[in-house]
Structure 1
Amino acid sequence: MARYIFITGGVVSSLGKGLMAASLAALLQARGYRVRIRKFDPYLNVDPGTMSPYQHGEVYVTDDGAETDLDLGHYERFTGVAAHQSDNVTSGRIYQQIIQRERRGDYLGATVQVVPHVTDAIKAFAQADTVDDDGQELDFVLCEIGGTVGDIESLPFIEAIRQLKNELGRGRSISVHVTLVPYIAAAGELKTKPTQHSVREIAALGVAPDVLVCRCEHPLPPSERAKIAQFCNVPASAVIPALDAKSIYAVPLQYHAEGLDAEVLRAFGIEPGASPDLSRWTEIVERLFNPQGTVTIGVVGKYVGLQDAYKSLNEALVHGGIANRVKVDVRWIDAELFEGEDGDIAGQLEPCDAILVPGAFGERGAEGKIAAIRFARERKIPYFGICFGMQMACIEGARDLAGIAHASSTEFGPTEEPVVGLITEWMGREGLEKRAAEGDLGGTMRLGAYEASLAGNSVVASIYGTTTISERHRHRYEVNTHYREALEKGGLVFSGLSPDGTLPEIVERPDHPWFVGVQFHPELKSKPFDPHPLFASFIGAAVKQSRLV
Structure 2
Amino acid sequence: MKYVLILGGVISGIGKGVIASSTGLLLKTLGLRVTAIKIDPYVNVDAGTMNPIEHGEVFVLNDGAEVDLDLGNYERFLDITLTRDNNITSGKLFQSVIEKERRGDFLGQNVQNMPHVTDTIQNWVERVAKIPVDQSGQEPDICIIELGGTIGDFDSSLYIEALRQFQHRVGRENFVVVQVSLVPVLGVVGEQKSKPTQATVRQLRGLGLKPDLIACRCSQALDPRVKAKVSTYCHVALEQVLSVQDVSSTYKIPLLLKEQGVLNYLRKRLQLDTLHISPRYFETGEALFRDWKALTETHASLKKTVTIALVGKYTFLQDAYLSVTQALEHASIACERKLTIKWVEAANLELETKESNSGKYHEAWEDIFTAQGILVPGGFGHRGTEGKIAVVKWARENKIPYLGICLGLQVAVIEFARNVCGLKGANSEELDPETNHKVVIYMPEVSRTHLGGTMRLGLRPTKFQDGSESWSKIHKYYESDERTLITARKFLDIHKENRINGTTENGIKYNTRITSNGIRVFGNGTTQMALNGNHHHHLFTEDFVISSTTATETSIKPMENVYSSKTVIEERHRHRYEVNPEIVERLEAQGLMFVGRDETGNRMEILELKDHPFFVAVQYHPEYLSRPLKPVPTFFGFIQASAAFQGYQKLIPCHYESTFNS
TM-score normalised by the shorter chain: which range applies?
Answer: over 0.9
- Write the distance in 2 (CA, Å) between the matches of 1:224 and 1:481: 64
Question: SS of the residue aligned with 1:48?
Answer: coil
Does the aligned pair in 1 maintain the 2:409–2:618 contact within 8 Å? Answer: yes
- Write the distance in 2 (CA, Å) between the matches of 1:548 and 1:462: 26
Question: SS of the residue aligned with 1:325?
Answer: coil
Deviation string, structure 1 residues 205-226 (Cα, Å, up to 9, x no partner): 1111111111122322333323
Question: What are the residue-to-residue correspondences of 1:146-157 with 2, within 5 Å?
Answer: 146-157=148-159
Q: CA deviation at 1:346?
A: 4.7
Question: What are the residue-to-residue correspondences of 1:100-119 with 2, within 5 Å?
Answer: 100-119=99-118
Does the aligned pair in 2 maintain the 1:64–1:85 contact within 8 Å? Answer: yes
Partner of 1:47: 46
Q: CA deviation at 1:231?
A: 2.1
Of the candidates 322, 335, 345, which is equivalent to residue 333 of structure 2? 322
- Write the distance in 2 (CA, Å) between the matches of 1:178 and 1:199: 10
- Is residue 534 from structure 1 mapped to residue 634 from structure 2 by the alignment? yes
Does the aligned pair in 2 maintain the 1:240–1:259 contact within 8 Å? Answer: no
Partner of 1:363: 382
Partner of 1:452: 462
Question: What are the residue-to-residue correspondences of 1:1-16 with 2, within 5 Å?
Answer: 2-16=1-15
Question: SS of the residue aligned with 1:318?
Answer: helix
Does the aligned pair in 2 maintain the 1:454–1:460 contact within 8 Å? Answer: no
* Higher mean C-alpha displacement, 270-279 vs 97-106: 270-279
- Write the distance in 2 (CA, Å) between the matches of 1:292 and 1:207: 47
Question: What are the residue-to-residue correspondences of 1:169-188 with 2, within 5 Å?
Answer: 169-188=171-190
- Write the distance in 2 (CA, Å) between the matches of 1:294 and 1:395: 32
Q: CA deviation at 1:547?
A: 7.3
Which amino acid is 1:397 matched to? F
- Write the distance in 1 (CA, Å) between the matches of 2:630 and 2:138: 23
Label 1:5 to 1:372 Cα distance change in 2 as closer, same or farther (>3 A): same
- Write the distance in 2 (CA, Å) between the matches of 1:532 and 1:136: 26
* Higher mean C-alpha displacement, 516-525 vs 105-114: 105-114
Question: SS of the residue aligned with 1:50?
Answer: coil
- Write the distance in 2 (CA, Å) between the matches of 1:216 and 1:244: 7
Question: SS of the residue aligned with 1:126?
Answer: helix
Count matched residues. 538
Does the aligned pair in 1 maintain the 2:59–2:67 contact within 8 Å? Answer: yes
- Is residue 332 from structure 1 mapped to residue 343 from structure 2 by the alignment? yes
- Is residue 251 from structure 1 mapped to residue 253 from structure 2 by the alignment? yes
Deviation string, structure 1 residues 92-111 (Cα, Å, up to 9, x no partner): 11112222333343333322
Partner of 2:440: 420
* Higher mean C-alpha displacement, 387-396 vs 191-200: 191-200
Does the aligned pair in 2 maintain the 1:27–1:276 contact within 8 Å? Answer: no
- Write the distance in 2 (CA, Å) between the matches of 1:245 and 1:547: 34
Partner of 2:142: 140
Question: What are the residue-to-residue correspondences of 1:24-35 with 2, within 5 Å?
Answer: 24-35=23-34
Partner of 2:270: 268
Does the aligned pair in 1 maintain the 2:447–2:454 contact within 8 Å? Answer: no
Which amino acid is 1:319 matched to? H
Which amino acid is 1:42 matched to? P
Partner of 1:484: 584
Does the aligned pair in 1 maintain the 2:54–2:317 contact within 8 Å? Answer: no
Label 1:292 to 1:185 Cα distance change in 2 as closer, same or farther (>3 A): closer
- Write the distance in 2 (CA, Å) between the matches of 1:265 and 1:153: 33
Of the candidates 360, 380, 391, which is equivalent to residue 410 of structure 2? 391
Q: CA deviation at 1:271?
A: 5.6
Q: CA deviation at 1:50?
A: 0.3
- Write the distance in 1 (CA, Å) between the matches of 2:317 and 2:418: 31
Of the candidates 305, 325, 329, which is equivalent to residue 294 of structure 1? 305
- Is residue 437 from structure 1 mapped to residue 448 from structure 2 by the alignment? yes
Q: CA deviation at 1:82?
A: 1.3
Of the candidates 428, 437, 450, which is equivalent to residue 409 of structure 1? 428
Q: CA deviation at 1:519?
A: 0.2
* Higher mean C-alpha displacement, 228-237 vs 85-94: 228-237
Does the aligned pair in 1 maintain the 2:421–2:586 contact within 8 Å? Answer: yes
Does the aligned pair in 1 maintain the 2:218–2:245 contact within 8 Å? Answer: yes
Q: CA deviation at 1:200?
A: 1.0
Which amino acid is 1:412 matched to? L
- Write the distance in 1 (CA, Å) between the matches of 2:219 and 2:203: 24
Of the candidates 439, 456, 478, which is equivalent to residue 464 of structure 1? 478
Does the aligned pair in 2 maintain the 1:394–1:419 contact within 8 Å? Answer: yes
Which amino acid is 2:419 matched to? D
Partner of 1:166: 168
Partner of 1:74: 73
Partner of 2:369: 350
Q: CA deviation at 1:532?
A: 1.0
- Is residue 510 from structure 1 mapped to residue 610 from structure 2 by the alignment? yes
Does the aligned pair in 2 maintain the 1:498–1:504 contact within 8 Å? Answer: yes
Does the aligned pair in 1 maintain the 2:349–2:365 contact within 8 Å? Answer: no
Does the aligned pair in 1 maintain the 2:342–2:367 contact within 8 Å? Answer: no
Does the aligned pair in 2 maintain the 1:262–1:272 contact within 8 Å? Answer: no
| Identical-pair percentage | 44
- Write the distance in 2 (CA, Å) between the matches of 1:548 and 1:324: 20
Partner of 1:214: 216
Question: SS of the residue aligned with 1:184?
Answer: coil
Question: SS of the residue aligned with 2:116?
Answer: helix
Does the aligned pair in 1 maintain the 2:372–2:648 contact within 8 Å? Answer: no
- Write the distance in 2 (CA, Å) between the matches of 1:80 and 1:88: 17
Question: What are the residue-to-residue correspondences of 1:115-126 with 2, within 5 Å?
Answer: 115-126=114-125
Which amino acid is 1:151 matched to? D
Does the aligned pair in 1 maintain the 2:4–2:175 contact within 8 Å? Answer: yes
- Write the distance in 2 (CA, Å) between the matches of 1:224 and 1:349: 46
- Write the distance in 1 (CA, Å) between the matches of 2:376 and 2:221: 40
* Higher mean C-alpha displacement, 251-260 vs 155-164: 251-260
Question: SS of the residue aligned with 1:73?
Answer: helix
Question: SS of the residue aligned with 1:313?
Answer: helix
Which amino acid is 2:413 matched to? C
Q: CA deviation at 1:126?
A: 1.1
Partner of 1:431: none
Does the aligned pair in 2 maintain the 1:86–1:128 contact within 8 Å? Answer: no
Does the aligned pair in 2 maintain the 1:181–1:191 contact within 8 Å? Answer: yes
- Write the distance in 1 (CA, Å) between the matches of 2:303 and 2:241: 38
- Write the distance in 2 (CA, Å) between the matches of 1:66 and 1:261: 32
Partner of 2:194: 192
- Write the distance in 2 (CA, Å) between the matches of 1:246 and 1:548: 29
Label 1:304 to 1:346 Cα distance change in 2 as closer, same or farther (>3 A): closer
Partner of 1:59: 58
Taking structure 2 as the reference length, the TM-score comes to 0.79
Label 1:17 to 1:489 Cα distance change in 2 as closer, same or farther (>3 A): same
Label 1:548 to 1:50 Cα distance change in 2 as closer, same or farther (>3 A): closer
Q: CA deviation at 1:359?
A: 0.1
Question: SS of the residue aligned with 2:463?
Answer: strand
Which amino acid is 1:310 matched to? Y
Deviation string, structure 1 residues 323-359 (Cα, Å, up to 9, x no partner): 1101111001111112226354753311010111100
Which amino acid is 2:83 matched to? H
- Write the distance in 2 (CA, Å) between the matches of 1:346 and 1:276: 47
Deviation string, structure 1 residues 366-414 (Cα, Å, up to 9, x no partner): 1111000000001110000000000110111111111211211111242
Deviation string, structure 1 residues 413-447 (Cα, Å, up to 9, x no partner): 4232111111113xxxxxxxxx3323x10000011
Question: What are the residue-to-residue correspondences of 1:92-107 with 2, within 5 Å?
Answer: 92-107=91-106
- Write the distance in 2 (CA, Å) between the matches of 1:183 and 1:366: 42
Partner of 1:377: 396
- Write the distance in 2 (CA, Å) between the matches of 1:436 and 1:239: 51
* Higher mean C-alpha displacement, 336-345 vs 237-246: 336-345
Unaligned runs of 5+ in 2: 276-281, 355-360, 480-565, 650-662
